[in-house]
Amino acid sequence: MHTPVPEYLQEVLADLRAHVGGAVADYIPDLAAADRDRFGVALATTSGRVHTAGDADVEFSIQSVSKPFVYAAAIMDRGVERVLESVGVEPSGEAFDELSLEHDSHRPRNPMINAGAITTHQLLLSDDATAAARVERARGFLSELAGRELRINESILRSELDTADRNLALAHLLRNYGVFSAAAHEAVEGYTAQCSIMVTARDLAVMGSCLANGGLHPQTGAQVVPSDVVRQALSVMAAAGMYDAAGSWFSEVGIPAKSGVSGGMLGVLPGQIGIGLFSPRLDAHGNSARGVAAFRRLSADMNLHLMTAGPVGSAPIRAIERSTDRITVVLQGAIQFAGAEAVLDRLQSIDAEPTTVLFDVSRVDRFLDVGRRMTLEGMRRLRLDGHRIALYDPDGLLPDPDMGDGHFPENLPDRELRRS
Ligand code: GLN
């Protein structure tokens, strides 16, 4: 048996190949010369599997898709508070190259537009880092996420710099407002080098899967980005990644995404997948025209909209078993807030008559932090009611189960459990 996922991706490409709306960016020769019919898609799971179709291994310059990643790197280097002093998190509702600055602070509105991204690049490493070290920080970080050494395309970099008047104007104004102190040409050169890093749709999917997995790289097992930094970067990407189309994008497709002027697109669905896509023709917002159509299709077919509400996982209580000397609460699945709330609700109806309450967590996949805290608090309260608390946890999912008052449940070994 072969998994049908790659065939499904082929089908999506075949269905959309005739969609030839939009135009390639032509402000530099390298982009104007791009083969406009290229079309590739890759999907990487948080378990480390990658499925591709079409031109998924064709290289293109990452351009603005670098912005959420470099934002994450800047937060890792400087802390979120320092980064927020210089760059906001509000959608600008304007095009990517608008000078969208906040009125009082003059901070760029967000790191997904050029003004914000030029500033973000300047925040890499430290105030006294060299321009070359910042570029290498961006290239090295993107490479770590992609799981291979990415390189800068010098020809794209040079021709971008020949036509960088608008970005230079942004940098001069930012410097004028004291948002950063580097020379404008140096700031634009660093940011443009970051945009000239070459990637494939497969790379973007793998990089996205690391963010989807809370920063833990599904292929290398390394914690490449702290999970709170991933959350910040994905939040800003969801709010502003698609520029002035961000609102309609999020309501229609519901996948936090970032597009770039060379036709690349990144989508990240937390907990599930990273999606990479390449199709050079752009729509009026500067987003890949066929890419937007493909994401719409993927979201609808695979139920990927982040706001699709529904119960997450199965019911947390598999059974409550009563015997003469014991009540056994059998939990299952991933225990998060709603699951733990349901458990606490059921525990309320345990009789006042003191008995042993055994928590069997052998069928639990994992406790999220809030699930752990609430479950232990439930145990503490049952203990205060006079019950004896026991735990059957063969996989060690509740390590150090301090009920919050220095008391621990008795750990029941397997054989004693079978007795009842
Ligand atoms: N290098 C491009 C620029 O700054 C990137 C913009 C984009 O991809 N939207 O103009």
Q: pLDDT tens, 181-223? A: 999 999 999 999 999 999 999 999 999 999 999 999 999 999 9
Decide if 350 contacts 357 (C-beta within 8 A).
yes
Sheet holding 317-323, edge to edge: 317-323, 326-335, 356-367, 388-392, 410-411
Name which of 43, 18, 20 is nearest 302 in CA terms.
43
List, chain by chain if needed, residues with CB within 6 Å of any ligand 1 atom.
63-64, 96-97, 114, 160, 167, 192, 195, 260-261, 286
Q: Is 8 a catalytic residue?
A: no
Q: Of 12, 24, 41, 64, which one is the catalytic site residue?
A: 64
Structure-block tokens of residue 46: 């948080």
Tell me the CB-side half-sphere exposure of residue 206, using CA atoms within 13 A: 23
Indicate if the pLDDT at residue 40 is higher than 50. Answer: yes
Q: Is 33 exposed, middle or buried (0-12, 13-18, 19+ CB in 10 A)?
A: exposed
Q: How far is the CA of 196 from the centre of ligand 1 (A)?
A: 10
Any residues with CB less than 8 A from the CB of 37 and at least 6 apart, and which? Answer: none
- Weakest-pLDDT range from 314-323, 325-334, 357-366: 314-323
pLDDT at 245: 85
Please identify, by atom number, the ligand 1 atom nearest to the C-alpha of residue 97: 10
Q: Per-residue pLDDT tens for 94-103?
A: 888 888 788 8
pLDDT at 352: 72
Indicate if the pLDDT at residue 417 is higher than 70. Answer: no
Report how far apart, in Å, the C-alpha atoms of 72 and of each of 182, 230, 236, 279 are: 21, 7, 10, 26
Average pLDDT over residues 268-275: 95
- Weakest-pLDDT range from 75-79, 159-163, 321-325, 402-406: 321-325
Indicate if the pLDDT at residue 351 is higher than 80. Answer: no
pLDDT at 415: 47
Average pLDDT over residues 313-335: 88
Q: Is 392 a catalytic residue?
A: no
Backbone angles phi, psi at 387, to 5 degrees: -80, 155
pTM of the full structure:
0.90
Residue nearest to atom 2 of ligand 1 (CA): 63
Indicate if the pLDDT at residue 420 is higher than 70. Answer: no
- In the three-class reduction of DSSP (H, G, I as helix; E, B as strand; rest coil), residue 301 is classed as helix
Q: Write down the mean pLDDT value for the chain.
A: 93
Quote the DSSP letter at residue 63. G
Name which of 288, 349, 289 is nearest 322 in CA terms.
349
Choosing from 63, 165, 258 the residue with most ligand 1 atoms within 8 A of its CB, the one to mutate for a pocket test is 63
Any residues with CB less than 8 A from the CB of 414 and at least 6 apart, and which? Answer: 392, 394
Choosing from 97, 282, 285 the residue with most ligand 1 atoms within 8 A of its CB, the one to mutate for a pocket test is 97
Indicate if the pLDDT at residue 280 is higher than 90. Answer: yes
Please identify, by atom number, the ligand 1 atom nearest to the C-alpha of residue 160: 1
Q: How far is the CA of 62 from the centre of ligand 1 (A)?
A: 9
Any residues with CB less than 8 A from the CB of 267 and at least 6 apart, and which? Answer: 208, 255, 256, 257, 273, 274, 275, 276, 277, 295, 298
Q: Is 243 a catalytic residue?
A: yes
Indicate if the pLDDT at residue 29 is higher than 90. Answer: no
pLDDT band (50, 70, 90) for residue 353: confident
Q: Is 191 a catalytic residue?
A: yes
Please identify, by atom number, the ligand 1 atom nearest to the C-alpha of residue 195: 1
Q: Of 191, 225, 229, 292, which one is the catalytic site residue?
A: 191
